[in-house]
Amino acid sequence: MALSKRLQRIVDQIQGSCLADIGCDHGYVVIEALKQNKVKKAYACDVAPLPLENAQRNIEAAHLQNRAQCLLMNGIESLPEDVDCIVMAGMGGSLMIDILERGKVRVGTRFYLSCHKDTPLLRKYLLQHGFSIEKEWIIQEDRHFYPLIQCVYTRKPCLKVSEKELYYGVSLEFDKDAGSYLENEKKKWTKIFQQMPPSKRKEAQIRLQYINELLDRF
C-alpha cells in the first residue's frame, strides 16, 4: 500500500494517542498512522457503509484489527471519548465547518484538515470558534495544490487575523510546494488583473500584493 503524497504528509504530522479519520475512504491513513506508531489506536469513520467495508478489509489485511475499529457515523457527533486527534481530508471546507458545528469538540483535540475548496472560509471559522492554527502546509500533487491545516481546539477565539492569512495561510511552511503554489496564484491573479476593467481591479491588486509579500519570504 502506497499513500499519496498528500495523505503521507498528513500522517507525518499526526500527534496523539487515538486517531479518528473522518471520511476514511480505504482506511489508508489509519493503517499508516498505526504502522508508524503515530498513535496507539485508531477509528476509521464514514457515513457510508461501502467505504467502511473497504477500510475493514484493508485493516484486516494489515493485521491491525486489534488496534483499529471501523465506525459507521455522521461526522464527529458520536466520537468515542478516547479520540484526541482527528483527520478530515478530501472534502470541502464548508462541509468541514458543518461537521465541526454539529460535533462536540473537547479542548486539546488536535485536527488535521485538508480541504479541496473554501479554505479561507474554513480558516475564518476555525479562528473565530476557538481553534488555534499551529501550522499550515501546501501539498502539490500532480497539478493540484492542497492545503493542510494543523490546529488544536482551545475554546479561545482568535480575533486578530489578517486578510492575507485568511487567503494564504496562518504559520505557513515556506517550502518548495508553497513556492509553486504562490507562483501559480501570481500567474492566475495577474491574468485576472489584466483582463478586468480598471474599475474592477481592486481585488486582484490586493491579492497580488499579498502574494508578492509572501514570495519575498523565500
**101/116 same-domain check:** yes
Same domain, 119 and 24: yes
Cα 192 to Cα 118, 132, 183, 205: the distances in Å are 19, 33, 14, 9
Burial of residue 3 (number of CB atoms within 10 Å: 0-12, 13-18, 19+): middle
Query: Could you tell me the residue range of the domain that residue 128 belongs to?
Result: 5-172
Q: Whole-structure pTM over 0.75, yes or no?
A: yes
For residue 215, give the C-alpha cell.
514570495
Residue pLDDT, tens place only, 13-40? 999 999 999 999 899 999 999 999 999 9
One domain, residues 48 and 105: yes
pLDDT in tens, 153-175: 999 998 788 999 999 999 999 99
DSSP notation for the chain: ----HHHHHHHHH--SSEEEEES-TTSHHHHHHHHTTS-SEEEEEESSHHHHHHHHHHHHHTT-TTTEEEEE-STTTT--TT--EEEEEEE-HHHHHHHHHHS-PPTT-EEEEEESS-HHHHHHHHHHTTEEEEEEEEEEETTEEEEEEEEEE-S-------HHHHHH-SSB--SHHHHHHHHHHHHHHHHHHHHS-GGG-HHHHHHHHHHHHHHTT-
Please indicate, yes or no, whether residues 115 and 205 belong to a single structural domain of this protein.
Answer: no
Q: Is the pLDDT of residue 3 over 90?
A: no
User: Quick one: 202 and 112 in the same domain?
Assistant: no
146 and 46 in a common domain: yes
Contact 179, 217 (CB under 8 A): no
State the average pLDDT over residues 44-58. 94
Same domain? For 121 and 24 the reply is yes
Task: Give the sheet arrangement for strand 41-46, strand by strand.
Answer: 68-72, 41-46, 18-22, 85-91, 110-115, 144-153, 131-141
Domain count, the chain: 2
pLDDT at 7: 94
Claim to verify: residue 105 and residue 187 sit in the same structural domain: no
Decide: residue 165, CB within 10 A, 0-12 exposed, 13-18 middle, 19+ buried. Answer: buried
Same domain, 80 and 181: no
Tens digits of residue pLDDT in 181-213: 999 999 999 999 999 998 889 999 999 999 999
Residue 146 is predicted with a pLDDT of 96
Same domain, 209 and 119: no
Distances (CA, A) of 207 to 83, 162, 163: 39, 13, 10
Q: Which positions ≥6 away from 77 have C-beta within 8 Å?
A: 102, 103, 104
Query: Tell me, what CATH number does 63's domain have?
Result: 3.40.50.150
Question: pLDDT-derived band of residue 1, with 50, 70 and 90 as boundaries?
Answer: low
124, 73: one domain: yes
Query: pLDDT averaged over the chain?
Result: 95
Q: Do 119 and 189 share a domain, yes or no?
A: no
Quick check: 2 pLDDT over 80?
no
